[in-house]
Each structure stands twice: as structure tokens, then as C-alpha cells.
């Protein structure tokens, strides 16, 4: 590890907000990352780790603590106990999309629908990232992590991470602390060895425009997903202010079936997939787009489209408050963007306005998706 001159977090985060912290370390090896964390914890400093900065909303005041940049990289191929599959272990600082590209290029299926998601591998299990019906929990085997309370390193199975819709025991939720304060060092996934696959998940089939069960190449799936994400401003582009954000700023709302029935019928909705029993590996050849229940189902919750709620509350693409440099993306109603020099205060003001409009119209409070540091919503 090495201590570096603190850099404005606006230069290291995709939403482009945040002042320089008191102290900053940069780590390129696992040993260096562990050393930096243990030293920081021993001093009792406030801290957070910074990967790609794509899911972080930092306030305007300097962070009074230590920021540790995680820049560890590397992918290791490991044997899988399941026939026709392979395991990949990636370091926490490795780019997530670089891991997906590696898997697709080598004919390893299971991550391709998550192409183009920004950020690092270490952040992926923290909020159980996913796209088009595919989530990391379907292929995640285990993570190696270090606990703040003990400073010890351990290997933790996916079953112990409390994975749910965009959440885990490691996630810093708005208004609360993680159930387990720890930092991921590496991630291991189990993938199907197949250069092409039959796509059965409904959301992914719809996104790809598929109408039959003809196998399609993984590379074709990846290209189509990247094209779709780019059209929505969800691929980072220095020259496109619609990408200067955190992707989806608000989570899709999770409501009871009764609440969902009270919403207009045209409001898009999907069943919330139950938590995956992580000792079960689902071969993609038989995956039908739904994670199997690990316990008897009761009344199912429903996921409703936050983007639809926002637009129906009168907030259109490109909306911004007077004299503000923050606006809703011109391509996607769920993305809040920095149009150039916006402060965290301006972004937060826009976010609160949207929350108030959706609450007034539908009685629902949209929850922010990024990790908030020095910001109150």
C-alpha cells in the first residue's frame, strides 16, 4: 500500500461530487489492502473503500477519515466440482465488465446479461448486482473477506451473505449500518462452459428480442446488452453527460401484492425472486428466469418500476430544477446526472424533489440505490 495525496472524490466517482478526504491510501495488492485496512481500523478512523466509484454519492464537505482505493486485479481459473462448469476467482479491484468480457471471450456463461455494469468485482456481491433477470447470486460461490471487528480474513459462502434484491449483509443501507462490516478481497463464481446458450429468462429474452429457443452466442448477447445500455445512457462515456451519474439512482419499489394491485394496471411490475439457496447451482441450460424458492412461499412481494412511477409523477427525462446543474438523464428517467459542476447539494435537492412527487402521487417512498457518504436524503 502507499499513502497518496488526497484527491477530490469528484474526480474518482462517476457522479462527480465530493471533496478530498483527510487521508487516502492506494492499494494494488491484497496484502497491501489488508495492511491499509488493519492500520485504519487500529486508529479508529472513519473509513470507506473506493473501487470504481460508480455506486457512490459523496457530499460536498470533506470526508473526515480515510479513503482506501482498491486497485487489485487478476482472474484465476479454478476447477468446478460440477461437470461442464468452471470457476473464476477475481480480485476485488478488477473491473466488473472486464470480468464479464473475459468470461464471454472464453466461452463461460452466466454473467453476459450483466455486461456494461460499471464498478469493480468486489462491489458486485455487496448489492447483488443484476440486469435483465440475471443476478450475481445465481453464479456466486464464495467471497474472501476481512472483518473489521477482528481483522481476520475468511472465506464466506454465498449462503452466508444474505443476498436479496440489490442487498446483502455487507451493504450500507440508507439510514443504517451493514449487518457485517467487512471488505471483500476476492470473489469466486461458477460458470457453465458453453460458447452459446438457450435464453429462457423472460426479461432477458424480451431485451434481446428473442422469440424462439435457438441457442445464441454469448458474444452476441453481450453486444446486444451493451448496445441497449448505451442507448439508455448506462455505459460510461466521458463526452456524454447522461452517463455522469450512478446508473439507476433509485431502486425499483418493492411492495406487497395488495399495494401493487392498487397501482394503475399499466405500471410495470415483476415478481420478486426469493433468495437463492446458494448451495444449489442452477445450470443455465435449465434456468428459466426464476430463482427457485428455498423455503415455502407466503404472500409474494412485487417489484414495480421506479422509472414508470417517476414519469407518471410528472418528472420527464431531462427534467431539472431552476438554475440547477443536476438533471434527470435525457435517456432514462431513473438516472440522475451531473451536467457539469453540479454540487452534491444540487443532486440531493433533485432527488428529494422526485421522492416527494412520487410519494404525493402514489404514496411510495423511493429508496436511493447508491451508497451515501455525507449526504442525507
Residues forming the active site:
166, 248, 369
CB-based contact 368:249 (threshold 8 Å): yes
CB-based contact 373:59 (threshold 8 Å): yes
CB-based contact 186:91 (threshold 8 Å): yes
CA distances from 87 to 98, 228, 291 (A): 16, 28, 20
Mapped onto helix, strand or coil, the DSSP state of residue 89 is strand
Count, residues in the chain: 377
CB-based contact 171:223 (threshold 8 Å): no
Helix (H) or strand (E) holding 217, with range, is strand 216-217
Backbone angles phi, psi at 189, to 5 degrees: -120, 155
Tell me the chain's radius of gyration from C-alpha atoms.
20
**β-strands 85-91, 75-79: how paired?**
antiparallel
DSSP state, 245? B
Judge residue 211's burial from the number of C-beta atoms within 10 Å of its C-beta, 0-12 exposed, 13-18 middle, 19 or more buried: exposed
Amino acid at each position: 500500500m502507499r499513502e497518496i495525496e488526497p484527491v477530490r472524490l469528484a474526480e474518482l466517482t462517476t457522479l462527480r461530487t465530493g471533496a478530498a478526504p483527510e487521508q487516502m491510501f492506494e492499494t494494488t495488492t491484497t496484502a497491501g489492502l489488508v495492511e491499509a485496512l488493519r492500520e485504519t481500523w487500529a486508529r479508529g478512523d472513519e473509513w470507506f473503500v473506493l473501487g470504481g466509484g460508480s455506486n457512490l454519492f459523496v457530499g460536498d464537505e470533506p470526508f473526515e477519515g480515510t479513503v482506501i482505493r482498491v486497485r487489485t486485479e487478476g482472474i484465476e481459473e479454478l476447477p468446478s466440482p460440477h461437470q461442464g462448469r468452471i470457476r473464476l476467482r477475481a480480485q476485488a479491484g478488477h473491473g466488473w465488465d472486464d470480468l464479464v468480457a473475459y468470461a464471454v471471450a472464453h466461452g463461460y456463461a452466466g454473467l453476459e446479461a450483466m455486461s456494461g455494469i460499471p464498478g469493480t468485482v468486489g462491489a458486485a456481491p455487496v448489492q447483488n448486482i443484476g440486469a435483465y433477470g440475471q443476478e450475481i447470486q445465481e453464479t456466486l460461490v464464495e467471497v474472501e473477506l476481512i472483518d473489521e471487528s477482528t481483522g481476520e480474513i475468511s472465506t464466506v459462502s454465498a449462503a452466508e451473505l444474505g443476498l436479496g434484491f440489490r442487498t446483502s449483509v455487507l451493504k450500507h443501507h440508507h439510514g443504517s449500518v451493514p449487518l457485517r462490516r467487512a471488505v471483500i478481497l476476492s470473489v469466486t463464481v461458477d460458470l457453465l462452459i458453453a460458447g452459446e446458450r438457450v435464453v429462457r429468462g423472460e426479461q432477458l429474452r424480451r431485451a434481446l428480442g428473442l422469440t424462439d429457443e435457438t441457442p445464441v452466442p454469448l458474444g452476441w448477447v453481450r453486444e446486444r446488452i451493451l448496445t441497449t445500455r448505451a442507448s439508455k445512457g448506462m455505459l460510461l462515456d466521458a463526452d456524454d453527460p447522461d452517463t455522469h451519474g450512478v446508473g439507476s439512482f433509485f431502486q425499483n419499489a418493492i411492495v406487497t401484492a395488495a399495494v401493487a394491485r392498487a397501482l394503475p394496471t399499466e405500471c410495470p411490475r415483476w415478481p420478486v425472486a426469493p433468495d437463492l439457496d446458494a448451495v444449489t447451482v442452477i445450470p443455465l441450460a435449465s434456468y428459466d428466469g426464476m430463482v427457485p424458492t428455498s423455503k415455502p412461499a407466503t404472500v409474494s412481494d412485487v417489484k414495480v418500476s421506479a422509472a414508470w412511477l417517476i414519469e407518471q409523477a410528472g418528472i420527464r427525462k431531462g427534467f431539472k430544477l431552476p438554475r440547477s446543474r443536476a438533471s434527470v438523464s435525457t435517456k432514462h428517467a431513473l438516472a440522475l446526472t451531473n451536467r457539469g459542476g453540479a454540487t452534491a447539494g444540487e443532486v440531493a435537492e433533485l432527488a428529494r424533489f422526485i421522492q416527494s412527487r412520487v410519494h404525493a402521487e402514489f404514496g411510495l417512498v423511493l429508496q436511493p440505490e447508491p451508497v451515501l457518504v455525507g449526504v442525507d436524503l
